[in-house]
Amino acid sequence: MFRSIRGTLLGWYTVILLAVVATFASLLYHRLQILTAKRIEAELAGAAALISRRIPHPRGHPRPLLIPEDLLKRFGEEESEAAYALVWFPDGTRLASSLAPPDVPKPHAEPAPPPPGVEDDPLQPRFRQRGTLYEVVLPYRGGGFLVVGRSAAVEAAQLRHLAWLTFGLGAGLVALGLAGGRWLVGRALEPLRSMTATAQAVSASNLSERIGKVGRASELEPLAGVLDGMLDRLEAAFEQQKRFTADASHELRTPLAVIASQTELALARERSAAEYREALATCAHAAQRMRSLVDGLLTLARADAGKIQLDRSPFDVTACVEQCAALMRSLAADRGVTIGLALAPVEWNGDLHRFAQVVINLLTNAVLYNRPGGRIEVGLRLAGDLLELTVADDGIGIAPEEIGSIFKRFHRVDPARARDSGGNGLGLAISQSLVAAHGGTIDCRSELGRGSTFTVRLPPP
């Protein structure tokens, strides 16, 4: 029925308020009605008892009798409020006070027998109501009745007046309650409005908007916190993505520029075969560099999407590490670096090629960020049920403030030097993704100028 929260809240609020006010007013009215009737009946019963004592028993009739009118007057100043009395004698004669209306019917019902144990009082009163007239009937044992009655028109008018007053007050109360409810609901929903406005202001180009404090509505505070946290993460992710795209384009531009300039140069005039060969070799090297970059980006994209396919099978880790070290030996020798192995025999179930890629990456870094005469120690062992591979070098090391960043994409501690070494800043990020895909961890301890140790820990599959 109501589309908005405000409409629903106000609707329910109105229904409940109306129900409470109406119930209260009708209960009050009903209770007052009963009390008024009881009061009138008690008055009439009292008056009837007094009158019956002052009138001689009608059995002795006929004797001229007088109804004590003074007693009847005490009910009210107005004639309409004054009581009236009538006596029916057993012989059928009727005596009426001056204000008695002419059409009072003679009570005909026999008095109900008194309940057992109650004294057989000949004057057990009975009450009857005719329109606004209330009457008490006192039957005499020997026959005949005394009827004392009065109009309750004034009380009825008062009750009607009270009903209207209650209705007016109730309506006022409901209107006041509604206005208050509207204000309260508006205040309670204000934070939601500001949250909506912030959410609307957020776009891919503007992720810096935050909801912040949402005022008194402490129930919405956690939601605002969660949304702000989400925006923080989104902004960081967008930033990272932007930086990543910029870095990737920058990295791709360099080899592309090399290829473009080499081909332009070669085509500018007639060249010797040796010159063409040299230009083509440079282009091939640049293309190779681009391919390794694109392969790396593809691996990272798959890792981000959780789509790295692992081709797990049992393999001899010791042999794999030995082969990787053998592959690296010529590069290491070129740089005057030696590689030592301390390998325990380890069999493991995993993706051999991905594991070898990690070992090659770590060994390449250990060779490239080293000095002539440097030494690399590769260790392999089982620590409990974890496979532990360490690649330690005594090369240039990494400053403590940089250690936290070296696993980030395209991060290079010394860009100039890293580019000299042919690195593109993706090796460690890719290694970390591959290790994570195996459920493992990779960490680095390093001291500037003294060397670094990278440790890979892989759990059993």
Nearest by Cα to 424 from 254, 196, 215, 210: 254
Shortest CB 296 distance to ligand ADP, Å: 9
Q: Residue 423 interacts with ligand ADP (CB under 6 A)?
A: yes
> How many other C-beta atoms are found inside a 10 Å radius of the C-beta of residue 113?
9
Stretches 116-124, 129-137, 264-272, 417-425: which one binds ligand ADP (CB under 6 A)?
417-425
Give the pair of three-digit tokens for residue 218. Answer: 């402490």
Residue number of the CB atom closest to ligand ADP:
423
Q: Residue 433 interacts with ligand ADP (CB under 6 A)?
A: no
Q: What torsion do the CA atoms of 251, 255, 257, 260 make, to the nearest 10 degrees?
A: -150
Q: Residue 427 interacts with ligand ADP (CB under 6 A)?
A: yes
Q: Residue 412 interacts with ligand ADP (CB under 6 A)?
A: yes
Nearest by Cα to 393 from 343, 454, 451: 451
Q: Using the 8-state DSSP alphabet, how is residue 391 labeled? A: E
Q: Residue 378 interacts with ligand ADP (CB under 6 A)?
A: no
Binding mask 379-398 toward ligand ADP (x if CB under 6 A, else -) reads --------------x-xxxx
Q: Residue 10 interacts with ligand ADP (CB under 6 A)?
A: no
When the beta carbons of 44 and 429 are compared against ligand ADP, the nearer one is 429
Q: Residue 329 interacts with ligand ADP (CB under 6 A)?
A: no
Give the pair of three-digit tokens for residue 125. Answer: 């009163």
Upstream peptide bond of 314 is cis (omega within 30 degrees of 0): no
Which of 13, 134, 348, 369 touches ligand ADP by CB under 6 A? 369
Query: What CA–CA distance (Å, rounded) separates 389 from 379?
Result: 6
Query: What CA–CA distance (Å, rounded) separates 195 from 4?
Result: 16
Nearest by Cα to 375 from 341, 338, 343: 338
Q: Residue 337 interacts with ligand ADP (CB under 6 A)?
A: no
Q: Using the 8-state DSSP alphabet, how is residue 81 labeled? A: G
Stretches 128-136, 321-329, 332-340, 422-430: which one binds ligand ADP (CB under 6 A)?
422-430
How big is the site for ligand ADP, counted in residues (CB under 6 A)? 22
Stretches 152-160, 380-388, 407-415, 435-443: which one binds ligand ADP (CB under 6 A)?
407-415
> Strand pairing of 338-343 and 375-383?
parallel
Q: Residue 425 interacts with ligand ADP (CB under 6 A)?
A: yes
Query: What CA–CA distance (Å, rounded) separates 234 from 128?
Result: 83
Q: Residue 414 interacts with ligand ADP (CB under 6 A)?
A: yes
Which of 406, 434, 437, 458 touches ligand ADP by CB under 6 A? 406
For the chain, the maximum distance between any two Cα atoms, rounded to a whole number of angstroms, is: 164
Please give the residue ranges that form the binding site for ligand ADP (CB under 6 A). 365-366, 369, 393, 395-398, 406, 411-414, 418, 423-429, 452
